[in-house]
Structure 1
Amino acid sequence: MEFTQIRNATVKISYAGKKILIDPWLAEKGAVPGFGGTINEHIRNPTAELPIPVKQIVDVDAVILTHDHPDHWDDTARNAIPKDMLFFVQHEKDAQAVRLAGFSNIRVLGESNDYEGITLIKTPGQHGKPRVLEDMKALLGEVSGVILKHPDEKTFYIAGDTVWCQAVEDSLKKYHPDIVVLNSCDAQVIGNESIIMGKQDIYEVYKAAPEATIIASHMEAVNHATLSRKELREFLNEKAMTQRVRVPEDGESYTF
């Protein structure tokens, strides 16, 4: 398999002969306002350019949308992706949003799903600690991750927009993924409440999955990111974690 970090949570993988795009956020740098109710909301999004042309990004066989948030799925993606593209979504509410954008080939992920011999397994996540979820339930909403399995490939786990929680720990124990992608910029809402993983969350995954290679995605592209690649790499060095944790630049690829 090949993994390519595009920007933010947008990644592209080649897996068992299929090209799959995950969470396509394709707007130009600074195209939209910062997210209200978050740290640094005055900074416009995205805060980084796309590293490769949109046409090349959307040249895929399928799209996985972990959840319908504006930094995972936007108007540029809706216009650039062919309307007959196969979409996998977490539930019927997100399916309806994709359908309303003019797409027709949509599959809601169940517990286990077959896609041309690839097994897709929806996993739960938690978009923040309990207190912030209670205060901002409508804004943060439901999120998911996904496991990909195939006899000829390593087991691949995209955790999605989640903090370290029981659901992530359970998925690691149940599926024993070889590759784990974590959204890792420690995005925060006002009040310094984290809504995705930061350094300590990554450390917990590292300890819980001692055989896995971990990839830190969702870095340095949104106004509410508080953890930089530089700071994360320094932390990884201090903890002697660099052998198993990778921090890709936008546009960087790995083959496994």
Structure 2
Amino acid sequence: MRATRSLLPVILLLGFTCGCTSTANTGAAPSDVLALQSGPEASTADGSLKLVKHLPAPAGTRDGTEQFLSPNDVLEISVYQAASLDRTVQVDSSGLISLPLIGVRTAAGKSVRQLERELEKAYGASYLQSPDITVFLKESAGQRVTIDGEVARAGLYPVSAGTTLLDAIALAGGFRDVADQGKVYVFREVGGARLVANYDVGAIRSGRMANPRIYGGDVVMVFTSQGRVALNNLKEALGIAVNASRLAVIP
């Protein structure tokens, strides 16, 4: 009887925990969390964040087929049959690069293919006949994604042209045991608007939902499963109760 009574406050505490919603591990503002709980096409009170069913590709990327260069990106530029013009350059904070003969050029905000065409035109105008130029994005400062919440290793991770949501979760070491795989949210800015979509990773893995593409600048947030938290608390409480019962029978 003594052990049973000692367990009662713990059970009451578990009941309270199951009914609560915590944002401590999400990093989201309370207004953002309220929007996420309001269903499809919901938005925050000030309209700054809109919940949508599917996230569109970032603006200007031709439905995600092109990636735009950013300040601090590192580029390898090769000029066919003119090795003396080859350079490894970093896009400066103003979005500019400097190259031999043609001087300073704007790189940020352009796709790799667009920059290649512009450099070929610039070199072809006065210096080379039918130049063939290749631009390779060696390091991308802008193509990084933030992964937070109930993952093994939250942080900032680089993404490539084909990175998907499952890839992003794997980069962060997978889910923690209290993660709700049905409450994985991806935040993205598209044309100045803040959008967020909810994805069910279990449904993605089973083929019932498409595996979405992840882009640089996205934020992936994994919410906590209150049921799993309660179950863990119950296991811990039962362990305490067993220990208490054993102590109770010691003369």
Task: Give me the TM-score of the superposition, normalised by structure 1.
Answer: 0.23
Larger radius of gyration: 2
Q: Which has the higher helix share?
A: 2
